[in-house]
Amino acid sequence: MKILQKMLMVVLMLIIPVSTILAQADKGDKEFSTAASFMVIKPEGGELFSGFHLAGRFGYFLSKNIEIEPEVAIGKFEDADVGYVLSCNLNYNLTAGGKTVPFFLAGGGVCNTAWFVVPNLAIAGGEDTYMLLNAGLGVKVFLSETAAFRAEYRFQHIFAEYGYITYHYGLIGFSFFLKK
């Protein structure tokens, strides 16, 4: 986990200073983004497990900086069933007129999965649903006026029947913008 956090910090430090083209969203603009995360988990004293997380989002800019972003994510953890996460985040984009746009997000939703936790607690694909809270930060680096590379760190807190699960992960993907 610490390696992923360090890698994200290095990426942010290298990308944020770059600023060459104007990349501004306006009220009413839309953003479609996809992202993926590959995870490797090793519980203390346990064996190594892996999982994959794929997210799709459709954002709507309420103002130049504030965006509401519903998200659908699916995930697969080793032999567990595919699970889903449905959430909605409120993003604050720090637009300064440059190519790089850092952002913060917070939101919540529901899921039927905790496939990414300690394997003996994995509940992927079950019929039960669990509430969750999201928080995170990231950066969008515009490749053109309508396309951007997106990297983010996500904190997720899931309220499960046996307690709560806190999870940290990184997502890497692309965003496409539709101007009004």
- Residues 118-165 pLDDT 10s: 444 444 455 678 899 999 999 999 999 899 999 999 998 888 776 777
Domain span including residue 57: 2-175
For residue 13, the surrounding DSSP H or E stretch is helix 2-15
Look at residue 21 in the predicted model and tell me its pLDDT.
46
- Asked, for residue 62, whether it belongs to a domain, the answer is yes
- Asked, for residue 124, whether it belongs to a domain, the answer is yes
Domain holding 6: CATH number? 2.40.160.20
The b/e string for 88-115 (b: 16+ C-beta within 10 A; e otherwise) is ebebebebeebbbbbbebebebebbbbb
- Asked, for residue 180, whether it belongs to a domain, the answer is no
- Residues 83-95 pLDDT 10s: 888 999 999 999 8
- Between 143 and 79, name the one with better pLDDT: 143
Residue 112 pLDDT level (bands cut at 50, 70, 90): confident
Rounded to whole angstroms, how far apart are CA atoms 30 and 91? 13
- Residues 10-65 pLDDT 10s: 555 544 444 344 567 889 999 999 999 877 666 566 677 677 889 999 999 999 99
Span 102-123, average pLDDT:
72
- Asked, for residue 36, whether it belongs to a domain, the answer is yes
- Asked, for residue 107, whether it belongs to a domain, the answer is yes
* 81 pLDDT higher than 60: yes
Look at residue 88 in the predicted model and tell me its pLDDT.
97
Rounded to 10 degrees, the C-alpha dihedral 108/59/35/168 comes to: -30
Look at residue 51 in the predicted model and tell me its pLDDT.
76
Main-chain dihedrals φ then ψ at residue 165, nearest 5 degrees: -125, 130
Number of domains in the chain: 1
Q: Taking the mean position of all CA atoms in its chain, how far away is CA 174?
A: 11
- Asked, for residue 25, whether it belongs to a domain, the answer is yes
What string of DSSP letters covers 39-75? EEE--TTS--EEEEEEEEEEEEESSSSEEEEEEEEEE
Look at residue 129 in the predicted model and tell me its pLDDT.
80
